[in-house]
Amino acid sequence: VSENQPYRTAFHFQPPQNWLNDPNGPMYYGGVYHLFYQYNPYGAVFGNRMIWAHSISYDLINWIHLNHAIEPTEPFDINSCWSGSVTILPGNRPVILYTGVDANNYQVQNLATPKNLSDPFLREWVKFSKNPIMTPPNGIKVNEFRDPTTAWRGLDGKWRVIIGSELNNHGMAILYQSEDFVSWTKYQHPLYISEETGMWECPDFYPVSINSTNGVDTSVQNPSVKHVMKASFNSHDYYTLGNYDSQMERFISESDFTGTSLDLRYDYGKFYASKTFFDNVKNRRILWGWVNESDSTEDDIEKGWSGLQSIPRRVWLDKSGKQLLQWPVEEIETLRDSQVSIHGKKLSSGAVFELSGITAAQADVEVFFEVPELEEAEFMDPTGVDPQLFCGKENASGNGRLGPFGLLTLASKDLTEQTAIFFRVFRGPRRYIVLLCSDQSRSSLREEVDKTTFGSFVDIDPRLEKISLRSLIDHSIVESYGGEGRTCITTRVYPMLASDEGMHLYLFNNGSSSVVISRLDAWSMKRAKINGKESLRYRA
């Protein structure tokens, strides 16, 4: 394993070594945030004996690694303990539902409970003696039945949970019900079945308030909420909004999943198998997602690790009711260190301007752009335009009228290597169109790295508000939030020249019209304490 680790992150969650994937069972319990995650203790690649690793935190930023929570030991999970969720039962009793890959390689659902509820770290978990509690139903492939959600309790007092599955290319959420959380009955029809998608992994189903940015408990059902259905397929996390009809036991979506760029996604870059939980201390719903590598497997092995968790994000419904908004949890701001600010600076056509005074490889940048010459915008008919493909073609080095303008992150001094996070603004048939791109094409001189460019539209009207971008830059990851959390793009970057000290951060404008940085605040970020071993005592 390499000693030289320029790509390890400073404030993103990662274990000291080896492979990580999905976040599992996030929760708040006894004053402590818990994060479990899919982990291969035996190497930097996915494995055939996956376990639930476990870490805890007081602030979602600094973490203490604990012993593994669940490992393959029994016939019902001997070939892996796969993804699942936590539900907190009445009386403040957390339970884990997880997928076991059993001795026959069937996917089954299992239950585990804490050994000692008075240990706020919940270090030890006991598997239920009568596992499995759900086995693949008739007609469902035995290897397409996994990833139980957090359960919710209906008005009739019964518990419900959904499991990801698929039938003839219809991804779906199979619904189970239970009176006692132990014996579960499959409901006659799925809670939702999509037109045409792949197998649904890691579904998530939860209410969001219509008139408030606060989160609500997963069991809340009343006219003041809408429901979110999230499904992971085609390497992306798609969601749709709708209503949960609890009488009919159906989720009525406002628009079906198509698996195309028309679908809503949490993130238009790398972000998968995510999961939310309700944090009742701060009344917010928090989203975690797995961000995988874009480096080669050989390089992952050489580095000795693979995979990150995103910065935990608060998630709530936009005022428009048409989409979710996301924002890094406020606790991340405690890592902010030295700051630079800019007010009212013009970026003329062709400008490249270095933002010095902060650590370019470890930064939090928030910028608001103003576009004074909106009437200069080129025309675009967005019908049929795939924004990701568009960003790949019309990259940062090209020039339009309004944009590309934005940030050049993780850049070498001579700009040979650069990851451009930028906007383009167009005039559409009815309104202005804003596009956010994350251009990896020049991110690294190394050839084996996947440099796919990402992009999506941002639903803002530049006549009424400034075009904002917040990027969290952390050595080999850039997490960007466009339009105050309307469009997120996360990317992984492995620059060769831009070593730690040699990293630079620039603002640029390649459009023919000038733009104005109406406000910019950027901070060096401190390193979070993400410890190799349990090293803090419980602070009573």
Residue 251 is inside which H or E element, if any? Answer: strand 250-253
Give the nearest distance from C-beta 123 to ligand FRU in angstroms.
22
Comparing C-alpha atoms, which of 310, 269, 263 is closest to residue 436?
Answer: 269
Nearer to ligand FRU, 287 or 503 (CB): 287
Contact call for residue 21 and ligand FRU (CB under 6 A): yes
Side-chain-side CA neighbours of 492 within 13 Å: the count stands at 22
Contact call for residue 147 and ligand FRU (CB under 6 A): yes
Sole binder of ligand FRU in the list 82, 266, 316, 423 (CB under 6 A): 82
Comparing C-alpha atoms, which of 429, 437, 436, 425 is closest to residue 382?
Answer: 429
Instruction: Report helix, strand or coil for 502.
Output: helix
Annotated catalytic residue within 22, 102, 279, 364: 22
Sole binder of ligand FRU in the list 95, 273, 315, 347 (CB under 6 A): 273
Other C-beta atoms lying within 10 Å of the C-beta of residue 376: 16
Comparing C-alpha atoms, which of 46, 12, 10, 39 is closest to residue 300?
Answer: 46
Contact call for residue 419 and ligand FRU (CB under 6 A): no
Contact call for residue 294 and ligand FRU (CB under 6 A): no
Give the nearest distance from C-beta 501 to ligand FRU in angstroms.
36
Residue 297 is inside which H or E element, if any? Answer: helix 297-303
Nearer to ligand FRU, 193 or 273 (CB): 273
What is the total residue count of the chain? 540
Give the nearest distance from C-beta 116 to ligand FRU in angstroms.
27
In the shown chain, the binding pattern of residues 92 to 131 toward ligand FRU, with x for contact by CB under 6 A and - for none, equals -------x--------------------------------
- Rounded (5°) CA angle 162-163-168: 120
Distance CA 348, CA 338 (A): 27
* Total residues binding ligand FRU (CB under 6 A): 13
Q: Which positions from 462 through 491 interact with ligand FRU, judged by CB under 6 A?
A: none
What Rg, from alpha-carbon coordinates, does the chain have?
Answer: 23
3-state SS of the chain: helix, strand, coil percent to 5? Answer: 5, 45, 50
Contact call for residue 38 and ligand FRU (CB under 6 A): yes
Active site residue 147: no
Give the nearest distance from C-beta 274 to ligand FRU in angstroms.
10
Give the nearest distance from C-beta 382 to ligand FRU in angstroms.
31
Distance CA 409, CA 227 (A): 36
Amino acid letter, residue 228:
V
Sole binder of ligand FRU in the list 14, 20, 22, 264 (CB under 6 A): 22
Sole binder of ligand FRU in the list 202, 231, 329, 363 (CB under 6 A): 202
With a CB cutoff of 8 Å and minimum separation 6, the contacts of 242 are 226, 227, 229, 251, 252, 253, 254
Sole binder of ligand FRU in the list 9, 18, 57, 83 (CB under 6 A): 83
Give the nearest distance from C-beta 41 to ligand FRU in angstroms.
13
Nearer to ligand FRU, 287 or 347 (CB): 287
Distance CA 375, CA 166 (A): 48
Q: Which residues are catalytic?
A: 22
> Where on the chain is the footprint of ligand FRU (CB under 6 A)?
21-22, 38, 50, 82-83, 99, 146-147, 201-202, 272-273
